[in-house]
Amino acid sequence: MRLDLRGVFRRELQLTFTGSPGREPEWSAALADGDDAGFLGPGSAAWAVHGSMAPIVAGVRALMMQALHPAALAGVHDHSRFREDPLGRLAGTIRWIFTVTYGDTTTARTASEHVLRLHRAVTGTYRDAAGIERAYAANDPDLLRWVHLAFTDSFLAAHLIWGSYWGGRGSIPGGPDAYVAEWAVAGELMGVPDPPRTAAELRSQLDAYLTGGRLAHSARLDEVMRFLRAPGLSPLLQPGYRLLFDGAVASLREPYRALLGLERRRIGPFRLPAVLATRLVLAGVRLALGRRGPTETSARRRLARLRGGSTASGAERPGTAP
């Protein structure tokens, strides 16, 4: 009997991203329901960015960036089950991102409110960059802002590098400013006051945390980074993940990479640049998962139903969101 390696690889990827190998997750299928088009839609910058393969690298990069804030790091360290169930945490994050991207407005709000309720219990103390003990709460607006900035910057940076299947910058309808402005709705849903709406504002707000001394390297950060290097994935996925990790490192701006204690490097016996090696891995993932994921397909079914027409009119741009 011939082993279906592509099928096995696809199931492992589905298990990693959604926790539902071999079938569409219930929450994804439910995005076909709803009574409006949602906050975003086909042709939007957010659909372009989140519909490529680049978010796979962006998620790893965002976790690195978030961990630079001692309060965010304390919340993950003290309250998250990332060591015991890394895939569960990843699947939950993916579910929220793509529900806001592809769901109707009620579903997007409900998903965000659910996350905020979970955050209520995430409180404690941490030591800041100066070694002073301070209290933290996951729903603190300043901390929510840092998480939003890290996500937005990571998804934008990854798409610009890997969003094009053939090399070159990934295209974004309206450009980077359009993506930052559109994804501000996610920040607002999560309680972030006045999130950035241009790429320049995004960079300015990010760098304010860096120059203001609110980011720090620590032994706890090293522990989380060791986990991110090898998060206990299936043996089938581990070689590719190591390349994606190096790609995420390469996409970071130097001040953040230095604070994380990381450096860019070339990969393997042929000394491939990390960006190129990552592109090859993403091409393999795209081959296994297909051109458009079920999440976007469900959203297009809802839009077609609301128009009273066929989903065929929405097939102009392939995507690959989970």
Tokens of 215: 């980011």
State how many domains the chain has: 1
Section 159-185 average pLDDT: 89
Half-sphere exposure (Cβ direction) of 304: Cα atoms closer than 13 Å: 14
| Domain limits for position 149 | 27-75+97-230+239-308
Kindly report the average pLDDT of the chain as a whole number: 86
- Give the pLDDT band of residue 272 (cuts 50, 70, 90): low
Rg from Cα positions in the chain: 19
Query: Is residue 91 in some structural domain?
Result: no
Of 4-18, 69-83, 227-241, the one with minimum mean pLDDT is 4-18
On whether residue 220 sits in a domain, the answer given is: yes
pLDDT of residue 314: 40
Give 192-247 pLDDT, tens digit per residue: 999 999 999 999 999 999 999 999 999 999 988 998 888 878 888 888 999 999 99
**Res. 22 pLDDT band, cuts 50 70 90:** low
Give pLDDT, residue 79.
Answer: 81
pLDDT in the model for residue 284: 86
CA distance 169 to 159: 8
294 pLDDT band, cuts 50/70/90, is confident
Residue 1 lies in a domain: no
Going by pLDDT thresholds of 50, 70 and 90, the confidence category of residue 83 is low
Q: Indicate the pLDDT class of residue 103, thresholds 50, 70 and 90.
A: very high
Degrees (nearest 5) of the Cα angle 237, 153, 63? 40
The mean per-residue pLDDT over the stretch 92-109 comes to 94
The mean pLDDT of 261-281, rounded to a whole number, is 76
Say if residues 278 and 247 touch (Cβ distance below 8 Å). yes
Q: How confident is the model at residue 319 (pLDDT cuts 50, 70, 90)?
A: very low
Of 310 and 178, the one with more pLDDT:
178
Q: Which residues of 157-181 are buried (b: 16+ CB within 10 A; e: fewer)?
A: bbbbbbbebeeeebebbeebbbbbb
> Which stretch of DSSP H or E encloses residue 272?
strand 272-273
Assigned domain for 186 exists = yes
Most confident range (mean pLDDT) of 21-35, 134-148, 299-313 is: 134-148
Indicate the pairing of strand 133-137 with strand 272-273.
unpaired
Is 222 contained in some domain?
A: yes
DSSP string, 140-199: -HHHHHHHHHHHHHHHHHHHHHHSSTTSSPPP-TTHHHHHHHHHHHHHHHTT-SS---SH
Query: H or E stretch including 134?
Result: strand 133-137
Q: What letter represents residue 12's amino acid?
A: E
Structure-block tokens of residue 113: 């409110």
Q: Residue 313: inside a domain, yes or no?
A: no
**Tens-place pLDDT, residues 112-154:** 999 999 999 999 999 988 889 999 999 999 999 999 999 999 9
Percentage of the chain modeled with pLDDT above 70: 82
pTM given for the model: 0.87
